[in-house]
Amino acid sequence: MEQILMNLIAGAVGGNAAGKASPSFDLGTLGNTISGLVGGGVLGQLIPILLPAISAAAQGGNLSVGGVLTNLISGGAGGAILTAIIGALKNKAA
């Protein structure tokens, strides 16, 4: 549960950061937050599948600093990436 929350929060932060960093990707605060939450949640769930050591550490209750940082980075990156993609598509369609 903690991993999912970290991914969602980091995704929301990453989505807002990506939106504010580039006006062409900005979806507004609510749009950036929602796309960041989705992106952070999705990528945050894929990273443990791709890197089994992180998943094993989390399940064993021995979540290390490296595991927490990986969750935060993957969630933030996922949020930023999805916000950028949606923002680019939105602006291209407009």
DSSP string, 7-70: HHHHHHHHHHHHHHH-TTT--HHHHHHHHHHHHHHHHHHHHHHH-HHHHHHHHTT---HHHHHH
DSSP 3-state of 94: coil
pLDDT in tens, 14-32: 999 998 988 888 899 999 9
Residue at 27: amino acid letter: L
Residue 90 has pLDDT above 70, yes or no: yes
pLDDT at 93 over 90: no
86, 15 contact by CB (below 8 A):
no
Question: What pLDDT score does 58 carry?
Answer: 56
pLDDT at 78: 87
- 43 close to 7: Cβ distance less than 8 angstroms: yes
